Amino acid sequence: MQQSLKKRYSIKLLSSIINGLFGAILVAIVPKALSPVAYGQFIYLQDFFIKVVGFLDMGTSIAFFTKLSANNQRKELISFYFIYSFSILLLLFTFIFITNKLGYLDNLIPNISNQYIYFGLFFGFFTWFTQIFIKISDAYAITVSVELIKIIYKILSLMVLIYLIYQTEFNLTDYFIFHIVSLISFILFLSWLFIKRKIFENLKFSIFNSQFLSIIKEFIEYCHPLVLYSIVSLLVGIFDIWLLQKYGGSKQTGFYGLAYGLSTICFLFTSAMTPIITREFAKSYGEKDIESMRGLFLRYIPMLYSISAYFAIFVAIQSENILSIFTDEKFKEAYLVLMVMAFYPIHQTYGQLSGSIFYATNQTRLMRNISLVVQPFGMLLTFLLIYKLDLGAIGLAWKMIIVQIIGVNIQLYYNTKFLKLKLNYFLWHQLYSVALFIILAVVSNMLIDISSPILDFFISGLLYTVWVIIFIYILPQIFATNRDEIKSILIRFKSVIKREIKK
């Protein structure tokens, strides 16, 4: 299992690095090309429709992935889910069309033209739908092929985007069309691969087939605890971005989107592991192998948390330099938003990896109950920070960090109880690892003071990284390892270097 896991993680990691570079380049060129207001409109529509589609998903995509991972022979699951997916698109389009005809659309999506709203609808749906194809590839363990296609797709897409920005009169319409065409092209590429691998062989789409009725019952049984969870998540998510757009304006929404986009780059190393770990949890639980689940959790959760913290904290401390490198004067005020938002990916690691335990073990009811406690508190925070205190994007960033930390540690309590692990170990690890990285990042920043933001960023980063490497050897438990394992890795690395020199 470990060799397979490492191989799949390696290609996922490479793909995530490409995605991270792609995202960084987008942040560097798109906001300047669109202006803060147009970029803020894009961010609002992106966030709005992804949340609405996520609500209509209601946990069914996780159920689909978990069940298909457990038994790859169940091709009827694929047929069923394609019908369900396009039902979501039809329902969403009908809702927006009727809301617009009744004259209420501007209340829901303020200060944005109808043309952009429909573009946002299709963009949100196809963004979600591509993830369904990724889940199919992960369930069939053909990660390498799919991630290679994904890398090629990202490179080609970036080339097209650069051409559009620098060789045409680029605007928000062009940006939406670029995304929609790119996503559909990617889906067609993956469809070709799945046909070639015979994954799409013998698919039946008759909704009157008795299998579909039993699948509907199966999905309802799995997902019905998540219906209320999805409703609450939708209301909270829409309320957050709507309040920011309404009272902060598109400019503040643009600052939020920019900070969020830059901060997610810190998550690229750990996000690669999420679907792989989820699959292994589901497989181990299906085989009643709780010991393997315990080993995976104890090994990878602290390690990936520290990796996220290493990147995120450096981004937070270097927020002004990063914005100077990636944007222009119009986004200079966003540095405090980025400083706060950079901490979000740290506990997002716990949220996704720890949360996968609930899905893998069918504890969706418990996950719903946790959400019903945390999410209303989040709405209260949003109201206080954005409406009452008028903090705009900074207020929303603080809200996301606070709610994430609380929710993740409640999840952690139940997961450590289920796996019979010590909660205090994980709590203490969260505190001392972040504290150490903050100290090293702050000191590195103080010691390096160069007029060039790029040189300041890279030299500070080099110094910071050297110190982190030294402390990994002194305190290896930060990355859930030990000195013997580090020595073994160094020995293998030296052997590889010697073989290459001899060649």
pLDDT (tens digit per residue) in 46-75: 989 988 998 888 878 888 887 887 777 777
CA distances from 237 to 199, 249, 378 (A): 35, 17, 10
Q: Poorest-confidence range of 164-178, 353-367, 390-404?
A: 353-367
- What torsion do the CA atoms of 467, 469, 473, 478 make, to the nearest 10 degrees? 90
Domain membership of residue 362 (yes or no) is yes
Q: Hey, CA dihedral for 445, 451, 457, 460, is it positive or negative?
A: negative
Reported as a pLDDT band with limits 50, 70 and 90, residue 1 is: very low
Query: What is the crossing angle of helices 319-326 and 2-34, to 10°?
Result: 70
Least confident of 25-39, 238-252, 449-463: 25-39
| pLDDT, greater one: 212 or 438 | 438
pLDDT of residue 104 exceeding 70: yes
Q: What is residue 459's predicted lDDT score, i.e. its pLDDT?
A: 93
Q: How confident is the model at residue 2 (pLDDT cuts 50, 70, 90)?
A: very low
87-113: average pLDDT: 90
Q: How far apart are CA 405 and CA 278, in angstroms?
A: 21
The runs of H, that is alpha helices, within 103-209 are 105-108, 114-139, 143-167, 172-196
**Residue whose pair of structure tokens reads 């690229």 in the numeric block:** 268
Is there a domain that residue 159 lies in? yes
In a domain, 452, yes or no: no
Is the pLDDT at 10 greater than 50? The verdict is yes
Q: Give the range of the structural domain holding residue 429, as residue numbers without chain letter.
A: 2-447
C-alpha angle 223/225/228, rounded to 5°?
A: 110
| Residue 499, pLDDT above cutoff 90 | no
Place of tokens 């790029």: 454
User: Does residue 456 fall inside a structural domain?
Assistant: no
What is the four-CA torsion angle of 182, 185, 190, 192, rounded to 10 degrees?
-170
**Mean pLDDT score of the chain:** 84
pLDDT band at 351 (very low <50, low <70, confident <90, very high): confident
The DSSP code for 421 is -
Chain-centroid distance, C-alpha 293:
23
Does 462 reside within a domain? no
| Res. 452 pLDDT band, cuts 50 70 90 | confident
C-beta atoms surrounding 104 within 10 Å: 11
| Beta strands, E only, 210-272 | none
Q: How large is the angle between the packed helices 210-264 and 36-57, nearest 10 degrees? A: 150
What is the number of domains present in the chain? 1
Highest mean pLDDT among 24-33, 111-120, 262-271, 272-281: 111-120
What is the tens place of the pLDDT at every residue in 267-298?
Answer: 666 666 666 777 677 777 777 888 888 888 88
The answer to whether position 497 is within a domain reads no
Q: Which helix (H) or strand (E) holds 113?
A: none
Q: What is the token pair recorded at 417?
A: 């109880």
In this predicted structure, the answer to whether residue 212 has a pLDDT above a threshold of 80 is no
Q: Residue 208's pLDDT band (boundaries 50, 70, 90)?
A: very low
Task: Read off φ and ψ for residue 350, nearest 5 degrees.
Answer: -60, -40
Query: By C-alpha distance, which of 310, 284, 305 is closest to 296?
Result: 284
Residue 84 has a CB neighbour count (10 Å cut-off) of 18
Confidence bin at 380 (pLDDT 50/70/90): very high
Given a cut of 60, whether residue 501 has pLDDT beyond it is no
